[in-house]
Structure 1
Amino acid sequence: MDDSTNIYMVKAAWYYYIVGYTQNDIASMLGLSRAKVVRLLDEAREQGVVQFTFRASDTSRMGLEQEFINRFGLDDIFIVPTSLDRATTEDSIARATSMYITSHLSDGAYLNMGYGAMMNRVLGYLSRGTCNNLSVISLTGGVNFYLQDIPPSVMSIRLNLLPCPILLSSKELRDAMVQEPSITSIAKMVGLASMSVVGIGGISDNATIQKNGMLTKSDFELLRMRGSVGDILCHFIDIDGNPIATDIESRIVSTSLSALEHMSNVVAAAGGDEKIRAIRAVLKHGYINTLITDERTAQKVIEEDDRLKEMVP
């Protein structure tokens, strides 16, 4: 089987078994006949591609992965097919992230978890997953945002959350809050984790940090004016991934970017056109070891990196 056929096989299997598209939908998306899609699904079953998880040896063939590893120095990358709509694509990234985590962590492991809508979805899938006695440690404040997508009736993970808001009204209040024993005890657990997983936010009206009312449109416009392309762990960064000094930065309860840089196994999950520049900035600075995203986003990140390189005199 040639590489192009193998890629179609993996994509067809992902769309059919994970996303839930019909064979006709898949045929239309991939430009194939329905009969060809049926044959690809049969081959996927015969070759063991479909085993409730996707083998790393198969996903590693999906397009841009080696380019990302070579260009940005990643240890690993998982690129899922881009689906027909944004919500389905985001759900695929969250599913893939949960699958990646459970395949790399043993029962009883500790996992650091960042903030945002994508992280909520990942936690939702982890809570229904097969990794027993997984302990999750929050890297930011904002308890409610870590609980939104977790049904208590099926939760199989232990949550260790920083018991405070993510953004406080003043630097002085924030500085006092992080000295509280209930905060410091959770913060000390971060070093026990075998893996850290974070989201990447863009500067857009769809950003979780704006939609939840924590920041206003005016705040975001000011951040744009100061050169921000997005955030990681609610720390806003410029086009090269450097933190931007703002009043917001002094009031957030979040693991520092310098601490994140020293973590050895950091996974980022993100996708979408509004996050292209932020993902590229995070990769350029070297904050993460592994990226989980979708194919369209991956292609656009490479295009953005090429564009910026051409602008350098």
Structure 2
Amino acid sequence: MPEGKTAKDASHSEAQLAHVAMLYYREGLTQSEIAQRIGLSRATIVNYLRLARDLGIVDIRIRGESFTASPLSRKLTERYGLTDCYIAHNDVEPQRDDGVLERVGQLAASAMRDLLEPRDKLGIAWGQTIQHVANTFPNGPVPNLTCYQLIGSMDFNALFAPEACTIEIARRTLAPCRTLHAPAVVSSVDLASQLREEPIIARQLNELADLTKALFSVGSLSHPLTLVGSGMATQEELDTYVAMGAKGVFWGHFIDKDGNWLDGPLTGRLVGASLDQLRAIDMRMLVACGKSKREAIKASLHGGYATHLVTDEDTASWLLR
């Protein structure tokens, strides 16, 4: 609480923010009309509306299903056997890659929130894309939802870490959070086997078999810095997978252009959900966009890893070529 402010002052301020928001969003008054009605400047009303959003007093949601009605979306669902495809549309002027990613992340957050049901068990992956989804996930409880970390931890930017993504979505939905207390990849098959047999980790991994929904992205091998920087793989290991024909990667599980799993240097050394476990989940949302990920997205769809896709308009058009 700001210095000099009392609890009464703070509650009065929030009440005033809520009142202004009600006049604007529910009653449809303009900012100038609100300013005149309550005796404040229009600039103050603009600030109040911004604060109301920042403080969570106002939670603006756009139904994700509205983005599945286009002919482009319907063609993609038919081509790849998807349940739904959500497409973030382009502006007239080309967007920067980070702008496209932010828009796709926001769309995925709205779409997943609409799909969540009471008692769901949601598995959550990692990375910059999923962090964008987590950071824009609508606030509000989902009855008896539980969030699960799909892959162990890594030595990487905490903002993109698996536990950070899972914890943020759990926080926003007021759900219990089940993090995975193990590294994502270890130095040997024997060590990974021993870790998976530890009672706590074994219980956590067994719980992944009961997931009802999954939220994940796919990595591209054309930009390997994330994989190498996270400690997931060395450059030499990545080179081996590229030579084997790898086109995409899910938390250390590499796939070829047809979506087939590749047996390579990381086999047996990962601690987390397997690709068989992923495909056994009823609803699986793949969130990915941009030119660098197109081959990886196509491989993922050919492999049947997703039931729902969230992507950008240019990528969606490319996937139909």
| TM-score, with structure 1 as normaliser | 0.73
Q: Aligned-pair distance for 1:222?
A: 2.1
Q: Aligned-pair distance for 1:247?
A: 1.7
Q: Aligned-pair distance for 1:138?
A: 1.2
CA distance in 2, matches of 1:88, 1:148: 22
Gaps in structure 2 of 5+ consecutive residues: 1-59
Aligned to 2:109: 98
Q: Aligned-pair distance for 1:267?
A: 1.0
Amino acid in the other structure paired with 1:71: R
Q: Counterparts of 1:147-166 in structure 2 under 5 Å? A: 147-148=163-164, 155=172, 156-166=174-184
Say if 2:302 is the partner of 1:284: yes
Residue 196 of structure 1 aligns to a residue whose secondary structure is strand
Say if 2:259 is the partner of 1:241: yes
Q: Aligned-pair distance for 1:195?
A: 1.0
Say if 2:76 is the partner of 1:68: yes
Gaps in structure 1 of 5+ consecutive residues: 1-50, 304-313
CA distance in 2, matches of 1:227, 1:243: 11
Aligned to 2:140: 130
CA distance in 1, matches of 2:118, 2:242: 43
Q: Tell me if the contact between 1:136 and 1:159 (Cα under 8 Å) persists in the aligned partners.
A: yes
CA distance in 2, matches of 1:147, 1:258: 22
Amino acid in the other structure paired with 2:148: I
Q: Counterparts of 1:194-233 in structure 2 under 5 Å? A: 194-205=212-223, 208-233=226-251
Q: Aligned-pair distance for 1:207?
A: 5.2
Q: Tell me if the contact between 1:117 and 1:208 (Cα under 8 Å) persists in the aligned partners.
A: no
CA distance in 2, matches of 1:189, 1:205: 32
Could you say what the CA RMSD is over the residues aligned between the two structures, in angstroms?
2.4
Q: Aligned-pair distance for 1:179?
A: 1.0
CA distance in 2, matches of 1:240, 1:135: 33
Q: Aligned-pair distance for 1:218?
A: 3.0
2:61 to 32, 52, 63: 52
Amino acid in the other structure paired with 2:81: G
Amino acid in the other structure paired with 1:119: I
Amino acid in the other structure paired with 1:283: L
Amino acid in the other structure paired with 1:164: A
Q: Aligned-pair distance for 1:53?
A: 1.0
Q: Tell me if the contact between 1:102 and 1:130 (Cα under 8 Å) persists in the aligned partners.
A: no
Amino acid in the other structure paired with 1:146: P
Amino acid in the other structure paired with 2:162: Y
CA distance in 2, matches of 1:108, 1:89: 32
Q: Aligned-pair distance for 1:266?
A: 1.0
Q: Tell me if the contact between 2:205 and 2:272 (Cα under 8 Å) persists in the aligned partners.
A: no
Amino acid in the other structure paired with 1:129: N
Q: Aligned-pair distance for 1:182?
A: 1.4
CA distance in 2, matches of 1:75, 1:211: 34
Q: Aligned-pair distance for 1:159?
A: 2.0
Q: Aligned-pair distance for 1:72?
A: 0.7
Aligned to 1:141: 152
Q: Aligned-pair distance for 1:294?
A: 0.8
Q: Tell me if the contact between 1:112 and 1:138 (Cα under 8 Å) persists in the aligned partners.
A: yes
CA distance in 2, matches of 1:101, 1:131: 13
Residue 278 of structure 2 aligns to a residue whose secondary structure is helix
Q: Aligned-pair distance for 1:125?
A: 2.8
| TM-score, with structure 2 as normaliser | 0.71
Residue 201 of structure 1 aligns to a residue whose secondary structure is coil
Residue 176 of structure 2 aligns to a residue whose secondary structure is strand
Q: Tell me if the contact between 2:252 and 2:266 (Cα under 8 Å) persists in the aligned partners.
A: no
CA distance in 2, matches of 1:96, 1:62: 15
Aligned to 1:268: 286
Q: Tell me if the contact between 2:258 and 2:303 (Cα under 8 Å) persists in the aligned partners.
A: yes
Q: Tell me if the contact between 1:116 and 1:209 (Cα under 8 Å) persists in the aligned partners.
A: no
Q: Aligned-pair distance for 1:129?
A: 1.9
User: For residues 123 and 138 of structure 1, do their structure 2 counterparts lie closer, same or farther at Cα, with a shift above 3 Å needed?
Assistant: same
User: 1:270-312 CA deviation, whole Å, 9 max, x = no partner?
Assistant: 1111111111111112111111111111122222xxxxxxxxx
Q: Aligned-pair distance for 1:75?
A: 0.6
2:122 to 101, 111, 114: 111
